[in-house]
Amino acid sequence: MFHKELNHPIFQIVSEESQKLGFQTFVVGGFVRDIFLKRTSKDVDFVTVGSGIALATAVRNRLKKAHLSIFKNFGTAQLKTDDWEFEFVGARKESYDRNSRKPKVEDGTFEDDIYRRDFTINALAISLNAPKYGELIDLFGGVEDLKK
């Protein structure tokens, strides 16, 4: 369990707002990797099974000082507060036409989103959903790869 590492108030706020919206939400990528590498990180990526923009907007409404940027073309949002940056994205699924290098992107499941990530260590995730809040999800052996 990674409760200690999730000590910034935003993690609890994201968890609560996700629950209100009926979304499953996870901390993913570099922030999770950096926990294992014992690095300090103030750049956090959230993936939610739902609208990343809706979740970021709900979180922004609870924060006193935060700047919200919405990127509608990508379905993402970013919150900046103090010296922290938080990215919110809805879970995505990518597929490719054999005649194109450009992926077709559509809404997906948590597993779809994790599967499309480039490295096993970027596929590490921590659940923000009760009752599994703080639980590590490592579908591809990213923790073992970090030990190499």
Task: Set out the domains of the chain in order of their start, with CATH numbers.
Answer: 4-140 (3.30.460.10)
Per-residue pLDDT of 101-147, as tens digits, reads 777 777 888 988 888 777 787 889 999 998 999 999 998 888 888 88
Q: Which amino acid is at 100?
A: S
Per-residue pLDDT of 87-110, as tens digits, reads 999 998 877 778 877 777 778 889
Q: Convert 25-53 to b/e letters by CB count within 10 Å (16 or more is b).
A: bbbbbbbbbbbeeeeebeebbbbbbbbbb
Per-residue pLDDT of 16-73, as tens digits, reads 999 999 999 999 989 999 999 999 999 999 999 999 999 999 999 998 789 999 998 7
What Cα–Cα distance (Å) separates residue 52 from each residue in 23, 86, 101, 121, 122? 10, 11, 25, 22, 18
Angstrom distance (rounded) from CA 25 to CA 140: 19
Q: Convert 78-108 to b/e letters by CB count within 10 Å (16 or more is b).
A: bbebeeeebbbbbbbbeeeeeeeeeeeeeeb
Residue 148 in this model has a pLDDT that exceeds 90: no
Paired sense of beta strands 43-49 and 84-90, if any = parallel
| HSE-up (13 A, CA, CB side) for residue 78 | 8
Residue with tokens 């590492």, as numbered in its chain:
5
